[in-house]
Amino acid sequence: MRAGANLVSFVTIGVLVGCGVTLLLERSLSRVLLGVILIGNGVNLLIVFGGRSGAAPVVGASDEAAMSDALPQAMVLTAIVITFGFTAFLLAISYRSWYLSGDDEVPDDVEDREIVRRAAQREMSVADLAGEPPTADPQQVDAPAPPREEGPG
C-alpha cells in the first residue's frame, strides 16, 4: 500500500532540502531564491508522502480501501501556491536590489558594525550626559551619525 514512500523518495527529499540549505547560505539573493525553491519542492514532496498512497481518491473510480489519502494532496496544493508567491516576491526584491545597487548581495548590518567599531575603541555609544547639548561634548561633534550605506561596498 505504501509503494509511494520508499527509500528513493526520501533520498530525493533529502537531496533537495540539502541543496536548498546550501544555496540559502549564499549571499546572493538569486541563489537564495533557488534555495527556497528547492527546499519548497522537497517539503512539498514530504507532505505528499506523509499520506497513504494508492488509487485516485475519486468516489466510484476506485475501491474505497485502495484509495490514496486526499488530504495531503489538498494541503500540498496550498503549500505550492504559497511557495510560488514567496518565490515571486523574492524575485521582485532581488531584481529591485540589482536595479538599485548593481548586484543582489545582502550586505552586512551597518549599525552593528558601527557598534563593534566603537566598542573596540572604547567609545561610549552616546554621551549619556543629560542636560548638556551634544555640541558641548567634543566627542559628539566628531562623531555624527554614520551615513546609511546605500548598498554594498
Burial class (CB in 10 A: 0-12, 13-18, 19+), 38: buried
State the DSSP H helix or E strand holding residue 85, giving kind and residue range, or none if neither: helix 70-101
Least CB distance to another protein at residue 127 (A)? 8
Under the binding rule (CB under 8 A), the answer on residue 85 touching another protein is yes
Amino acid at the residue 50: G
Q: How far apart are CA 70 and CA 54, in angstroms?
A: 10
Comparing CB distances to another protein, the nearer of 4 and 66 is: 4
Under the binding rule (CB under 8 A), the answer on residue 14 touching another protein is no
Under the binding rule (CB under 8 A), the answer on residue 34 touching another protein is no
Q: How far apart are CA 20 and CA 50, in angstroms?
A: 21
The residues that touch another protein, with contacts defined as CB under 8 A, are: 24, 29, 32, 36, 39-40, 43, 46-47, 49-51, 69, 71-72, 75, 78-79, 82, 85-86, 89-90, 93-94, 96-97, 100-101, 106-107, 109, 111-112, 115, 119, 125-135, 140, 143-145, 148, 150-151
